Amino acid sequence: MKTDLRQHLIVGRILSAHGISGAVRVQSLTDDPARFASLKTCWLLDEQEKPVRLLRVLSARTQNAGQVLLQIEGVTDRDMALALRGRLLAVARADAGKLPADHWFVCDLIGCDVFDEKEGALGVVHEVLQHTAQDVFVIRKAGQPDLLFPAIKSILRHVDLTSRRIEVCLPDGLFALYRKEKP
């Protein structure tokens, strides 16, 4: 089954208002919060993560802990900024820039079927944890404990986003650690 890739990539979540002039504090959801410095426009997403309004970014200033202060055209006071709290911001895929070889946008990996050379179908990518030395794939299969493995070359054999399929070769013992056979 082939699935189209997302046309908009989520880059941040509006956390709160900042000050009284309409600035918003955004939690960066990209691997490089500095990307906001060159951001001219972004999309405001609705609850279903569909783009509803193109926003013009007047200024962006990186803060600590992956946060950014944005001044958005037309958002001129604290109340207007507070009304945006919790909303997601996205950029068009075409504006996201090229990724190096063997790198993928996390949103494109979520939902991909994962197959191991020995064990066969493992489940689907449910989440990618990015707070470790390497990204960690969380694989979910109904009725089974989640299976986790690092996204390293020795495990990831092939990623085909068009067919939504990831082929892996798990190290000996990893499958049994998470999904032991019941006697």
pLDDT at 97 over 80: no
Tell me the whole-structure pTM to 2 decimals.
0.74
The listed CATH number (1.20.120.420, 2.40.30.60, 3.40.640.10, 2.60.120.280) that belongs to domain 8-94: 2.40.30.60
| Res 182 pLDDT > 60 | no
Whole-number Å distance between alpha carbons of 82 and 21: 11
Question: Cα separation of 63 and 25, whole Å?
Answer: 9
Question: Where do the structural domains in the chain lie, given as residue ranges?
Answer: 8-94, 106-178
Q: Give per-residue pLDDT as tens, 22-80.
A: 999 999 988 777 888 889 999 999 988 889 999 999 999 998 878 999 999 999 999 99
pLDDT reading at 1 higher than 90: no
Amino acid letter for position 89: L
What pLDDT shows up at residue 181?
A: 63
pLDDT tens per residue across span 127-162: 999 877 889 999 999 999 999 999 999 999 999 999
Determine the average pLDDT of the residues in 163-179: 93
HEC assignment per residue over 52-117: EEEEEEEEEEECCCCEEEEEECCCCCHHHHHCCCCCEEEEEHHHCCCCCCCCCCHHHHCCCEEEEC
Say which DSSP state 166 is in: E
CA distance 37 to 19: 20
Burial 120-146 (b: 16+ CB within 10 A, else e): eebbbbeebeeeeeebbbbbeeeeeee
106-178: CATH topology:
SH3 type barrels. (2.30.30)
Would you say residue 183 has pLDDT above 60?
no
pLDDT band of residue 4 (cuts 50, 70, 90) is low
- Phi and psi for 106 in degrees, rounded to 5? -55, -40
Q: Measure the CA–CA gap between 38 and 139, rounded to whole angstroms.
A: 35
